[in-house]
Every structure is written in C-alpha cells, then in structure tokens.
Structure 1
C-alpha cells in the first residue's frame, strides 16, 4: 500500500514538474505570436524566456531555503496556485509589461517546487532506489521541454495565443487538484537552520560540484542551443527534418533519464567521471561528420541520451556534496544549470561569431575539459586514497 502511495506521489510530482517546465519552455514555440499580439520585436518577445530563466537562477538557492520548513503539501499547492493565476493573467492581458510580470513571479517560485520534487521523490524510497525516483522527476522535466514547445505552437496556430497560455494553466490545475485530493500532509519533521544549510557552502566539494555542473550543463546547452541553425546550415536539412531531429533529441533525453537511474544506482562516480569523455567524443565526431545527414541523425539520438543522463548526473553531483541540506542543494543545482546554460550559450556563440558555426563543438569540448578538472579535484577530496576511482 505504501509503495503504491509513493508511486502515485512521484507521478503527481513528475506531472507537476512537467507543468512548470512547460510554462517555462513552452513559450519558445509561440514567440512569433507574442511579437505579433503585443506589437513588439521578436528580440523583445524573447524577454518572456530570458527573464524567466534569470529569475530562476537568482531565486534558485534562496526560495527553497525559505520554504524548507513549510509543510510540503502546502508548498506544492501554493506554488501551483501561483502558476495557475499567473498563467491566466498571461492569457488574458494585452499589455506586454503585465505579461513579463506574470512570467517573472512564477519563475521565482519555480525552484521551490522543482527542488522539493527531487527531495520528496528521493526521500520516499530507500537510498538505493533514490536515483530511480529522481530520474522519474527528470522525465517530467524532459517531457516539459520536449512537448511544451510543439504542443503550445500547435494550439496557438490552430486556436489563439490566449488558448496556448491557458494550456499551461490547465496542466497546473490538474496537478493542483491531484495534489489536493491524493497527496497527504507532509510536515517537515527535521528542519535544519538557515545557518546549517548555508554552511554547506564552506565545503570545497560543494564549490567544485557547482563548478562542474555549470561547466557540464554549459557543454550540453552551449552546443544544443545552436543545433537547429547547425542542421540547417551545415547539415543542410530542411525545416521539417530539423524539427524531427529536435524531437528525436528530446525523446532521447527521456531514454537517458531512465538509463541514468541504473547507472547512478550502481556506478555513480564512474558515470560522472566518464560522462565528459563520452560527450566529448560525440562532439569530435560531430565536428568531422556534421555535413552528413544520416550519421548526424544517429549522433543526435546518442547526444540526446547523453544529455538526459547528464541532467541526472548534475543533480546527483551537487546533492551528494550536501546530503544534509537537500532543498538548498537542489536550489543550487537549479541555479548552476541555468548559469551553465547562459554561460555556455554565450561562449559557444563567441566561437561561432569568431571562427564559424562548425566550430561550436569546440566550445562544448572546452567546457568538458574544464568540467573534468573540477570532477577529478572533487573526487580526490572524496577519496584521497584513490582519487580517480
């Protein structure tokens, strides 16, 4: 009976994370509609994405800490309620400034729900099963990123921008209802003081873990951010083929999440230390065969699987450095990944503008080399007798 309750809880949490990531990423598919509807440039419309990500990065370590002592069911309902209200406002407003405000407010609460979802999922099962439970939450993350963009685009194209925005709210309403009806009260029995949670920042392994995650996520998203342009320009695929490749990449992410559960349960440190080398090999191959359609399609499938595994590795690497402060650690994870995405995209963009689009892979390889240094330094601290085991 308890196992069934835990399974239902994880499903609700994963769906909730899907709804929140859907709100964050789904607007990418409707940016042209936003530009037309609010009579702004496409660059200005992009603020609905960039300001959301910036708010997540800023609030990542702070908001989960503030809510770490609050009943988790109450927290879930509060955050989902904020998302519902702000999504309804986004659907109804004709003022671009109000739209931006309605995007930033829920973004501040984004880390509260997502970090808590990881923490609750891991705590609901045995320590050995925790990576599997966390990987199920990551499936919600991947689904939000994979399905959010095309589904929202289809709704906006066939109905209206307002209906696309209401789709975000509807998903959150479903999760809110399921949480209210089926999730039991979850008071926090043992709450660390703010000082005790902040104290994890005194440890060198925490900072080395943060650095590694920023660099690993920068390596993945720094290159992935330019994948569509790469496939159009270098591989010379038409837009339908590019869309299919992006969908393949996202679906492969979900496969990677499933595989990560097994890898991190049985071979955690080896998985972390091996990851940069395997992804680096993918980027090297991409550099040489990027102009060939079929090999690139196979490579994108492998790349997507690795990216799914990498997301789980990033979360594991930070939370394993601060096991006594899980909410705060998960907040640090969210901030680190968002910073990694921003820095990686910027640096890889400089590679493109400086020496050309084919060399975007070199930017990813640079990040992977630096992440390997951070990983090995932390590993030597964790196990000084066998630093690279």
Structure 2
C-alpha cells in the first residue's frame, strides 16, 4: 500500500492503513475483548440474583435493579460521554472507560451494602454507554474503510461471546465460590483488557468535537434518520419477544428447565455465527443485510408463536432466531456508519441511547401484551416490529444518499 505523502505520528491512526499488517487487527481485537468484558459485567447479576438477594436481604425485584440501573445510565452516558470528551484522544477516553469497568466490578465485589452495589452498577452504566458510543466509532478508524464492517464484526463478536460464554461462566463461578468472586474475576478480566488496550491502541485524535446542539443534525440526514428508526423498531421488537422466551418455552413448548438453558446456549452460539456472516454481508450491501435481518427476526418470532407447541419446531426456530439476532447489531451499526461517516461518534451516541431506551420499551410492551393476551402474544408483537423494520428499509432505503458533507462547517464550529 502506498505510504502517505506526509509523515504521521508514530502510533497514531492515519487515513492510509495497511490492513495486511497485524497491528491494526490486534487493536480491533483489544476493543472486541473490551466488548466481551462489558457484556459479561452488564448481565453478570442475571445468574447471581438469588444468591445476591439472599446475602443482602433484599427482594428479587430490588436485586433486579442491578441489571436495569446500568441500562438506564448507559442511555444518557452514550450522549454525554461523547459530548463531554470533546477533543480528547479517543484512546485515552476508551482506557478511562475500561478503568471504570475495573473499578465498578471491584466495588461490587467488595461492597458492604446494597447501596454501594448500586453505585458500582451505575459506574458500569457510564462505562457501557460511553464504550458503545466511542468504541464502535473507534473500530472503523483502526482499519481502512473497506474493512470497517469486518472490524465492527470483530467488536460485536465480543458481545456474542459474552452472551454465550461470559454470563454462564460467571454464574458457574458464583455458584461454586460465591458471587463476590465472580465480580472480582470480571474485574481481573477488565484489568487484562486495560493492559491490552494500553499497548495495542494507537493515538486516536477525534475527527471533530461533538457538541450537544449538533446531535439533532444527524436526524436531518435521511439515511441516518431511517437507520435510527430501524434500530428502535428492531430492538423494541427483539426485547418484546426475547424477554419472555423462557416463559414461552415453558408454558407453550413444555420444555424442561435444563432443555431451555441448553436452547439459550444454542441461541447464543448461532448468534455468534450470525454476527460473523452479518459482518461479511453488511460489507457488501448494508440495505439488503438489514432488510433480511429484520425479515428473519420477524418470521422467526411469528413462527414460534404459530408452531412453538411442537418441541422440535421450537428448538429449530430458536436457533434461527439467534442467528438473526447475532447479525442485527452489525447490520444496523454498518448502516449508521455509512449514513454519516463524518458524524460517526454523534451517530453512535444516538444509536446506543436509542438501543437502551428500546430495550426498556420492548420489555414493557411485551409485558403488557403477555398480561392481557398471553405469553405467545409477545412473539407476535416482536415479529410485527421486526417485519415493519424490514419493510421500511426495503421501501425507503433504496435511494442512494448523496455524500453528506453539508453542514460540516457547522460540525466543526
């Protein structure tokens, strides 16, 4: 590859990147491992709630706040960390967020009371929101634009791996030696991630400082606006259905608890495969990938509602559903990246905030439907949202958007 005409600072990211070199991909891998550590930490209490509630003498509903608190904080942190970081080197910002991950897990492991645990989980929320806004924008900068989808696929593979292996492993550690040791182990993993990022990440000066008043500009970009709508529809539909997958498989499919646990592992494993294939497909056509992902999710959840009483059919549909979910994050993120590459951090911040809000809205809508119409209705609600997304992208995503350079002067103002 031809060298840049002017010398670049050693260790800094440049526009001309040699993707055949190992260094850039090791940098991407360090971000992906960070994603694994974050996902594992965010959902670690799920498998530890009974033990934590018993030791802390709190109800399971109160213990559930350890899961919801980081999500709520993350929705705001995604925006305010992006804006507040200004012109700081993004390498320093990411290292600071990883250090916050270390501190939050350590605080939970050593917490003398429930209040301290919630504080630690709130700190994690800042790390989660900031990481997804900054980290997903960093990935494409470490390699050439041609290989940006592959870089994002590696980062999102960390999410799938955290879901497949991290959370069950944490639950096992908690069962064998206690929940505090599980959080301590998560903190130790985060320390290793910090060391890897310290040595592998190059200097990453911001492309521009994002200001709060500039974020509405992203809604003025047609493709970005459509991508945010698609994100809201997909994640609302996904969690309207997925939140109630275990009750569905118990009540409708009549599967045992052990079989359901195995099916959720299969769901995560096929999701990991879907992530890899989704990254490959999104690099060729983000519109087709996002359309097919929405269609696959919608048809899978509707099929589960229709045929889930058959155990074999339910198992097959859940595996297909997991594949679609694995492809979903990389599909929407690639769409957003190509919609507004000059406002990448701002669009990532809005993207993460909308995801977090959609998670809560999806679970709420699904819960209302389950209470009034039965558990199968959650699958129908999820399917309708996902198919609506697929139709919207197919119908309104056809027009090729011209290069979005208008208002760049305002971006740098």
Q: TM-score range by the shorter chain?
A: over 0.9
Choose the corresponding residue for 2:274, options 238, 251, 256: 256
Conserved in 2, the CA contact under 8 Å of 1:25 and 1:148?
A: no
Pairwise mapping of residues 318-337 of structure 1 onto structure 2 (< 5 A)?
A: 318-337=336-355
Choose the corresponding residue for 1:149, options 167, 179, 191: 167
Alignment-derived partner of residue 387 in structure 1: none
Choose the corresponding residue for 1:63, options 75, 78, 81: 81
Which sections of structure 1, spanning at least 5 residues, go unmatched?
385-389
Q: What's the offset of the Cα at 1:241?
A: 0.5
Choose the corresponding residue for 1:191, options 205, 208, 212: 208
Q: Residues 257 and 68 (structure 1 numbering): CA distance in 2 closer, same or farther, change over 3 Å?
A: farther
Conserved in 2, the CA contact under 8 Å of 1:205 and 1:381?
A: no
Conserved in 2, the CA contact under 8 Å of 1:22 and 1:148?
A: yes
Alignment-derived partner of residue 106 in structure 1: 124
1:300 aligns with 2:318: yes
Choose the corresponding residue for 1:17, options 20, 30, 35: 35
Conserved in 2, the CA contact under 8 Å of 1:155 and 1:164?
A: yes
1:214 aligns with 2:232: yes
Q: Find the residue that maps to 1:237 and give its secondary structure.
A: coil
Q: Find the residue that maps to 1:217 and give its secondary structure.
A: helix
**Structure 1 CA distance for aligned equivalents of residues 256 and 38 of structure 2:** 31
Compute the TM-score of the two structures, normalised by the length of structure 1.
0.92
Conserved in 2, the CA contact under 8 Å of 1:218 and 1:343?
A: yes
Which sections of structure 2, spanning at least 5 residues, go unmatched?
1-17, 403-413
**Structure 1 CA distance for aligned equivalents of residues 326 and 65 of structure 2:** 27
Pairwise mapping of residues 30-45 of structure 1 onto structure 2 (< 5 A)?
A: 30-45=48-63
Pairwise mapping of residues 240-279 of structure 1 onto structure 2 (< 5 A)?
A: 240-279=258-297
Query: Deviation digits for residues 348-383 of structure 1, max 9, x if unmatched?
Result: 222211111122221112212442454356425646
Report which stretch shifted further, 20-29 or 266-275. Answer: 266-275
Q: What's the offset of the Cα at 1:109?
A: 2.7
Conserved in 2, the CA contact under 8 Å of 1:67 and 1:112?
A: no
Conserved in 2, the CA contact under 8 Å of 1:64 and 1:111?
A: no
Report which stretch shifted further, 289-298 or 274-283. Answer: 274-283
Q: Find the residue that maps to 1:46 and give its secondary structure.
A: helix
Query: Deviation digits for residues 250-277 of structure 1, max 9, x if unmatched?
Result: 1111101100112111122122223332
Report which stretch shifted further, 320-329 or 129-138. Answer: 320-329
Compute the TM-score of the two structures, normalised by the length of structure 2.
0.87
1:7 aligns with 2:29: no
Counting matched residue pairs gives: 383
